[in-house]
Amino acid sequence: MKAIIVPGVTDLNKGDQALVWESHRLVEDIGLFHEIYLLSSGDTKEEEELLCSQTKQRGFKFIQKILKHPRRGRHIEKEAIKDSPLSLFILFFNAFKDFVSTSFLLFLCKNDKLVKLFFDKNTYTTLSHFKESDVIFVKGGGFIHAYGEKTAPYLMWYFLFYTRLAKRLSKKVVFLPNSFGPFIGLTVKNQVRKVFNQVDKVFARELKSSTKLGRLLGKSIEVSPDLGFYLRLPIKDANQNSLLEKYGLSKEEKIIGITVRPWRFPGAENPGSKYLNYINSVTHLIKHLIEINYKVALCNQSIGPNAHEDDRNAINEVTSSISSKNLVWINEDLPCDELKSLYSNFHAFIGTRFHSVIFSLTSTVPSIAIGYGGNKAEGIMSDFNLKEFVVQIEDVSSTILIEKFNELIKNHEKIKCELKLMVKEINEQRSDTIESIKKIVSNEP
């Protein structure tokens, strides 16, 4: 049997990378597939090298994608975090053109002669892989959501295109553990309802998303943990000691790890001021931690593919007003498993990038999550009885962060013990997820 995992990998985002790698490992452990392919990312050779090189080095097989991103090869440019009117016009123009083209492909996809006539060789080859495949897996993650932004209708089309293609070709589709919702925007609910009612199996990665999607579809959605929880540490971990030494750190010190990110605050009336408040809140927290004799390590959880996804932009803003030997920026491009290994050396963690929190929690490092982008942070932390250690990015303040940190340290040993039990329980649930998928693939009742 043959499987394809969609959408593409993004090696610059270590949470996304972990989800793709663990999606592949889970499909592999089902034991029914002799070929497993990933969808490539990037619209130019340079982009593909940046977005896929670490995964290729690990030996994964790739096929080329069909649907380009509306930015068209501008992912790696140093554009502003906020789009200009001209860049928005280009995005809308490309999106409209792609919508027409992919709609036409869905109409013709069963006819090889017409596909060859109207589309390029790359599209034909990838379409052939889809036709030869038995199951299309949608990687774990959290991208099926919209906040009512003007681009919401096309965003749903973009993210659900490969699912539409698979069902048009009568292929089985399995959505691996994802977060779902909110579903705000023109056509968004209708698109989600129409596509997901055709999907063969859907897993939500937390109860809140299961409830939201279940209500929309009128059926129950099975909950299974985020695949990032299963990421294994590297077999050889000698690099970590040298990395800590490089930045003047040691395992004996009480290091507080932190991740921050650029965020556009979609749907907000005053996104600029909200982002400034977020940056200032984290900056004041760091100054407080340094004053009470902690060492603070800022880490790159994502460094692209665009300015909005490059945490280094936000880190630069945080560090610009702090000068202290007790604040270090671990400015590296580490694969996800090595990054998790780094986090395991920390005393506590405060993460905006939620997979940085997951990497820390599964390393039994007590953590605080700054939630953004859908239900993932609040939902997952609630499922593991850690809801009190979540603050939404819209509500963040230095006072709240300091209060939550004090509570975290007060209960540090208790939380570590609970995390050890949590990791054991989660690993047991992975086997249940595999067995559930086996039944769908094998047509078992």
Residue-wise pLDDT for 283-297, tens only, equals 999 999 999 999 999
| Tens digits of residue pLDDT in 400-420 | 999 999 999 999 999 999 999
Average pLDDT over every residue of 365-377: 88
Residue 121 vs residues 64, 129, 377, 380: alpha-carbon distances, Å: 10, 13, 41, 42
**Picking from 230-244, 346-360, 366-380, which range would have the lowest pLDDT averaged per residue?**
230-244
Domain around 154:
2-229+426-441
| 209 shares its domain with 95 | yes
Strand order of the sheet with strand 348-351?
327-330, 295-299, 255-259, 348-351, 367-371, 390-392
Note whether 267 and 150 are same-domain residues: no
Q: What is the pLDDT of residues 61-119, one digit of tens each?
A: 999 999 998 877 655 454 445 566 777 788 889 999 999 999 999 999 999 999 999 99
Question: What's the DSSP call for residue 135?
Answer: E
Q: State the pLDDT at residue 379.
A: 81
Q: Which of 24-28, 60-64, 114-118, 423-427 has the lowest mean pLDDT?
A: 423-427
Q: Mean pLDDT over residues 21-25, rounded?
A: 97
In tens, the pLDDT along 242-256 reads 889 999 999 889 999
Indicate whether 163 pLDDT > 60: yes
Same-domain pairing of 187 and 251: no
**Binning pLDDT at 50, 70 and 90, where does residue 149 land?**
confident
Number of domains into which the chain is organized: 2
Give per-residue pLDDT as tens, 253-271: 999 999 999 998 887 889 9
Q: Are residues 202 and 262 in the same domain?
A: no
Quote the pLDDT of residue 316: 97
* Bridge partners, 39 (sequence order): 63
Same domain for 256 and 116: no
* Partners of residue 310 on adjacent β-strands: 303
Name the more confident of 191 and 43. Answer: 191
The answer to whether residue 165 sits within a structural domain is yes
**Cα–Cα distance for residue pair 275/265, rounded to 1 Å:** 7
Indicate which CATH number applies to the domain containing 307: 3.40.50.2000
User: Does residue 418 belong to any structural domain of this protein?
Assistant: no
Residues 6+ apart with CB under 8 A from 303: 12, 13, 310, 311, 312, 333
279 shares a domain with 221: no
Read off the pLDDT of residues 123-138 as tens digits, 9 standing for 90 and up. 999 999 999 999 999 9
Q: What is the pTM of this model?
A: 0.92
Residue 416, domain member (yes or no): no
CA distance 289 to 143: 33
pLDDT-based confidence at 373, cuts 50/70/90? Answer: confident
Give the mean pLDDT of 339-367: 96
Q: Which two tokens stand for residue 238?
A: 């000698």
User: Percent of the chain beyond pLDDT 70?
Assistant: 96
Which two tokens mark 337?
């498993």
So what's the pLDDT on residue 382?
85
Q: Which of 344-358, 368-382, 428-442 has the weakest average pLDDT?
A: 368-382
**pLDDT recorded at residue 80:** 47
Specify whether 189 is located in the same domain as 239. no
Asked if residue 86 and residue 51 are part of one domain, the reply reads yes
User: In the predicted model, is pLDDT for residue 304 greater than 90?
Assistant: no
368-402 b/e with 16+ CB inside 10 Å = b?
A: bbbbbbbbbbbbbbbbbebeebbbebeebebebbb
Examine residue 379 and state whether it is found in any structural domain, yes or no. yes
pLDDT surpassing 80 at residue 59: yes
Within 10 A of 413 (CB to CB), how many other CB atoms are there? 10
Q: Do 220 and 82 share a domain, yes or no? A: yes
Average pLDDT over the chain reads 92
Q: Residue 320 in contact with residue 340, Cβ under 8 Å?
A: no
Are residues 196 and 276 both part of a single domain?
A: no
246 and 166: one domain? no
Residues 315 and 209 grouped into a single domain: no
Task: Characterize 300-316 residue by residue with b for buried, 16 or more Cβ atoms within 10 angstroms of its Cβ, and e for exposed.
Answer: bbbbbbbbbbbbbbbbe
